[in-house]
Structure 1
């Protein structure tokens, strides 16, 4: 069984390499610029009498050497498995280039078509390569080496590696060809789209995981106690959700979790409390975050830091809910505990005037708070919720009770929540 699965993974990896090579060949035919990983070999293939595939092999061997230099004593012999992959990928590129010789691009519209198709195909190859879990191409290997050695996030390291390749490609093109060739708008499109599309395949083609993986014993999940009552408080910035949650916990004589979750998460995740405090429940620009996060589609070993943070906090929240009755503020706890029948979810909101007054009076902020600052924090929370749960943070249907704290004092809200819970 294990041998059969390994053989299937190797075959899948080989197919993924060929599909990627075919995507590279189509991007060359589109003539709008190749992807960052291919731009340097392509530029040099226009100057010296070697094929694109041959120069891709040479370039990837150079990247392997760079991995060794960066990792030094931490370089693992197992990483030499990239060596046959490099030669196979180069040969596949030359084969694919011969297969697409019939394609003739007559106008810009057709160039755009072939460029976009190359991204779709290249992304599918990346998807198969990652799912096979055999190894990765040296470009991703170098980004991982940099991330490991210099303690950088993989997404940032890969952006840096890709950007460096593009810069070297541009400089080489002007030096040796006296003009810019091979690096155009298609290069930017590929840098943005391929990771997005690979992640899309990952969401829609989940059956591939089951097909490629060996059945493993499922991890036992701690069963939720039917006796524990858990109240989650989601809140607009400055609406007083923390105060209401704390008073509610004191009235009921149960545990209260808000900022203390930061220290618990720090112990579980390995991230510092400062990092968690600055990054939890925040996703300022979902599009920009997606552009950064899509780089993680290229490797199976790495996970975006915010994904890790959310998963760790979700695990902690579920464990707390299984252990004791409590009040939990924020962290998308209502969605994390959506299957808990004893979970009561509250959303606290208020008008802007009231929220500004509370922030300046209770949070020790002496400068005036603008509408923009309120909207920014709420947008961060909404984007965070949408990204990790797919739900609208402000949708009243996601809560058992929504209250306007500017109209009702905190004690009355606490009494209302307790009354509503008793009627459940």
Structure 2
């Protein structure tokens, strides 16, 4: 496949091998993958300390007060009110800006962190959600982290809950719902290589389709 001009965003269930699949696609297409690197970039460009990005990474907020504050900001905040804004919202906005800047630099793969939502207005984006059967995910996480099945299952549930709450809170979509993404793929059905192949083929189809429209 020729070099792509598509930005691929990957949302993923914990243990579905989403990141590994992303790396495979990135290598085959000769493009960069950004995962934690998005946080580094956002920290550097915003001047907000790196640790704060790590602390708030894909973690939801539960505070009722925070929701009230957020509602006032979502109506449009002036530069003055930015200083009063809760730190996790500043972190989210800085990440949002970093994601757009990365996408503006050219084709790449962005893993998690509401990248599909940040790039909603972009025509050259393919948003993918990768899921897998729970048993396959338990086996994978138990092996990687050397856990019992019960502990692996608990870790999966907690991580997915965090990712889901974070995504649902900051976007106008539902995490994992098919309608929230261009395509949803089951990596336990297709395998890691098969899922990577499917994504590359989808990029090709999308680009061919775009060329027809021109």
TM-score > 0.5 by shorter chain: yes
Structure ranking higher in strand proportion:
2
| Cα displacement (A) at 1:390 | 2.0
- In structure 2, the partner of 1:109 is none
In structure 2, the residue matched to 1:398 is 180
Map 1:347-366 → 2, pairs under 5 A: 347-362=129-144, 364-366=145-147
Q: Which has the larger radius of gyration?
A: 1
- Do the aligned partners of residues 271 and 413 (structure 1) sit closer, same or farther apart at CA in structure 2, a change above 3 Å counting? same
- 1:303 CA drift (Å): 0.8
Matching residue within 108, 112, 128 for 1:330: 112
Cα distance per residue 1:57-97 (max 9 Å; x no partner): xxxxxxxxxxxxxxxxxxxxxxxxxxxxxxxxxxxxxxxxx
Question: Which residue does 1:290 correspond to in 2?
Answer: 64
Q: CA deviation at 1:378?
A: 1.2
**1:181-226 per-position Cα deviation (integer Å, ceiling 9, x unaligned):** xxxxxxxxxxxxxxxxxxxxxxxxxxxxxxxxxxxxxxxxxxxxxx
Is 1:277 equivalent to 2:54 in the alignment? yes
TM-score by length of 2: 0.82
Pairwise mapping of residues 335-350 of structure 1 onto structure 2 (< 5 A)?
335-350=117-132
**Hey, what's the Cα distance between the residues in 1 that align with 2:51 and 2:131?**
27
Look up the match of 1:315: 97
CA contact (8 A) 1:280 1:306 kept: no
- Total equivalences in the alignment: 194
Cα 1:316–1:353, aligned 2, differ >3 Å: closer, same or farther?
same
Tell me which of the two structures has the higher relative contact order, counting C-alpha pairs closer than 8 angstroms and 6 or more residues apart. Answer: 2
Query: Given the alignment of the two structures, is residue 259 of structure 1 paired with residue 33 of structure 2, yes or no?
Result: no
More displaced, 270-279 or 242-251? 270-279
1:238 aligns with 2:15: yes
Whichever structure has more helix as a proportion of its residues is 1
Structure 2 counterpart SS, 1:366: coil
Structure 2: segments with no counterpart, 5+ residues: 74-79, 207-214
Q: Which range moved further: 372-381 or 249-258? A: 372-381
Task: Please list, as runs of the form range in 1=range in 2, the aligned pairs for 1:126-205 lying within 5 A after superposition.
Answer: none
Q: Secondary structure at the match of 1:231?
A: strand
Superposition RMSD in Å: 2.2
Cα gap change, 1:260/1:279 in structure 2, threshold over 3 Å: closer, same or farther?
same
Does the CA-based 8 Å contact 1:293-1:304 persist in structure 2?
Answer: no
